[in-house]
């Protein structure tokens, strides 16, 4: 009689193959899942550049109003760093690995994402900082050109749940504190910090789009970071004005590092002599209202972007010299500057083929 018995060895073999396939599928799923896992990191790479003396979306990047301006030649590039991931759009493990392979890209922790900073709040603050850099650039350019300059404290940011929250807003221009007219951001801090915690101050502010001046009574509290100092919870910077206005037609740009190049663009437009004389200059650096140039982040990426755009000369903040020496692209001339005056002098010296300072010599002098 023919047997109907199933071969147990064959069954065990098929079952083993099934388990192996299932294990492989599970591992593949886990691998895909890990690659798609969001992480609090961001990637930085060379970003777009903008010719301050050129156009963007059919409009001049820099427009001068209220004063005579002069034709310019040449290219004056503002450099940027492109960021992806982090609070800007969660980076995945796979994207981070891909970014690490790119020669000109860096991957680093995103402090905002790690600390739970709301991206909309962060972006709004970056825009406020860019607006402040425009104002500082105007003040620096006006001072260099010996034009009249006035300053007024402007609210840059308001700390949530602070005494000023719900009253003052970013963009408010502070006219007076406790009945005393203020013309400098430092005055505001001194007035508040000079009185005991719990003191009430009347703020009179000019809020764009509203008339008349707005008045608010704000009671100070002890600073969480400095127990001996009273605060109301605002970050204040200076807003500068002169006998001309400068309009910057750029969207989706944030941060302070465009200040130096914006001030040079204003100087060139307001000076009959042609500063660039058809040459191509790029650079970066913060600026204050007196014309001092400050350091920035991502200068290695900005130098790469400048070289790729054809820049012949790059102006770098003197405080960034260690990074400049370590990462200057071959063939790019980089000059360290600490003020607007030094930046203008560097361009003129370069055009005249005179010797230029370098970061190597600057670092040697500081030893």
Does 286 share its domain with 139? yes
What value does the mean pLDDT take over residues 53-71?
A: 94
Whole-number pLDDT of residue 366: 76
Of the three residues 222, 241, 260, the one that is the final residue of a domain is 241
Beta bridge partners of 202: 217
Does 332 share its domain with 349? yes
Does 77 share its domain with 180? no
Distance (Å, whole) CA 256 – CA 248? 14
Domain count, the chain: 2
Please indicate, yes or no, if residue 27 is contained in any of the structural domains: no
Please indicate, yes or no, if residue 22 is contained in any of the structural domains: no
Does 188 share its domain with 132? no
Does 216 share its domain with 292? no
Share of the chain above pLDDT 90, in %: 64
pLDDT at 234 over 50: yes
Rounded to two decimals, the pTM is: 0.80
Whole-number pLDDT of residue 258: 94
Distance (Å, whole) CA 221 – CA 291? 34
Please indicate, yes or no, if residue 355 is contained in any of the structural domains: yes
CATH of the domain at 299: 3.30.230.10
Whole-number pLDDT of residue 22: 59
pLDDT at 3 over 50: no
Residue range 90-122, pLDDT digits in tens? 666 655 565 556 667 776 676 654 444 444 456
Distance (Å, whole) CA 134 – CA 148? 17
Does 276 share its domain with 192? no
Task: Find the domain containing 177 and state its range.
Answer: 150-241
Of 82-91, 194-203, 258-267, minimum mean pLDDT range: 82-91
What value does the mean pLDDT take over residues 9-28?
A: 57
Residue range 302-324, pLDDT digits in tens? 999 999 999 999 999 999 999 99
Does 263 share its domain with 358? yes
pLDDT at 328 over 80: yes
Does 141 share its domain with 283? yes
Does 155 share its domain with 139? no
pLDDT at 283 over 50: yes
What value does the mean pLDDT take over residues 329-358?
A: 95
pLDDT at 29 over 60: no
What value does the mean pLDDT take over residues 241-269?
A: 93
Mean pLDDT estimate for the chain: 85
Of the three residues 184, 218, 241, the one that is the final residue of a domain is 241
∠ Cα 51 55 61 (to 5°): 70
Whole-number pLDDT of residue 117: 45
Please indicate, yes or no, if residue 221 is contained in any of the structural domains: yes
Residue range 114-148, pLDDT digits in tens? 444 444 456 677 777 888 899 999 999 999 999 99
Cβ neighbours for 323, distance < 8 A, ≥ 6 positions apart: 299, 300
Does 115 share its domain with 52? yes
CATH of the domain at 209: 2.30.42.10
Please indicate, yes or no, if residue 139 is contained in any of the structural domains: yes
Please indicate, yes or no, if residue 211 is contained in any of the structural domains: yes
Distance (Å, whole) CA 68 – CA 146? 15
Does 257 share its domain with 344? yes
What value does the mean pLDDT take over residues 41-64?
A: 90
**Token representation of residue 321:** 């010299």
- DSSP percent split of the chain into helix, strand, coil, nearest 5: 35, 25, 40
Does 166 share its domain with 250? no
| Cβ pair 117, 42 in contact under 8 A | no
């Amino acid at each position: 009689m023919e047997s109907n018995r199933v071969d147990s060895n064959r069954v065990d073999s098929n079952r083993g193959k099934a388990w192996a396939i299932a294990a492989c599928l599970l591992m593949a799923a886990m691998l895909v899942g890990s690659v798609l896992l969001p992480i609090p990191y961001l990637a930085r790479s060379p970003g777009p550049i903008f010719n301050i003396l050129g156009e963007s979306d059919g409009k001049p990047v820099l427009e001068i109003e209220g004063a005579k301006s002069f034709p310019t030649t040449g290219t004056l590039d503002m450099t940027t760093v492109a960021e992806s991931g982090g609070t800007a759009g969660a980076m995945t493990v796979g994207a981070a690995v891909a970014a690490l392979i790119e020669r000109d890209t860096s991957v680093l922790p995103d402090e905002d994402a790690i600390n739970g900073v709301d991206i909309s709040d962060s972006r709004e603050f970056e825009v406020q900082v860019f607006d402040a850099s425009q104002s500082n650039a105007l003040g620096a350019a006006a001072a260099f050109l010996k034009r009249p300059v006035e300053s007024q404290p402007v609210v840059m940011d308001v700390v949530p749940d602070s005494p000023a929250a719900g009253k003052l807003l970013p963009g408010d221009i502070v006219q007076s504190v406790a009945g005393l007219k203020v013309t400098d951001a430092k005055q505001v801090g001194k007035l508040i910090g000079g009185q005991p915690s719990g003191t009430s101050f009347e703020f009179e502010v000019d809020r764009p789009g509203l008339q008349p001046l707005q008045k608010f009574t704000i009671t100070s509290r002890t600073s969480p970071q400095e127990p001996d100092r009273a605060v109301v919870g605002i970050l204040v910077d200076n807003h500068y004005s002169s006998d001309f206005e400068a309009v910057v037609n750029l969207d989706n740009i944030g941060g302070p590092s465009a200040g130096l190049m914006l001030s040079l663009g204003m100087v060139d437009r307001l000076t009959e002599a042609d500063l660039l004389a058809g040459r191509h200059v790029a650079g970066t650096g913060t600026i204050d209202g007196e014309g001092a140039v400050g350091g920035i982040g991502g200068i290695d990426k900005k130098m790469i972007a400048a070289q790729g755009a054809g820049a012949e000369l790059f102006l770098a903040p003197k405080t960034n010299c260690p990074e400049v020496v370590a990462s200057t692209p071959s063939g790019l001339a980089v000059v360290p500057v600490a003020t607007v005056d030094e930046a203008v002098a560097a361009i003129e010296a370069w055009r005249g083929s005179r010797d230029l300072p370098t970061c190597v010599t600057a670092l040697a002098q500081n030893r």
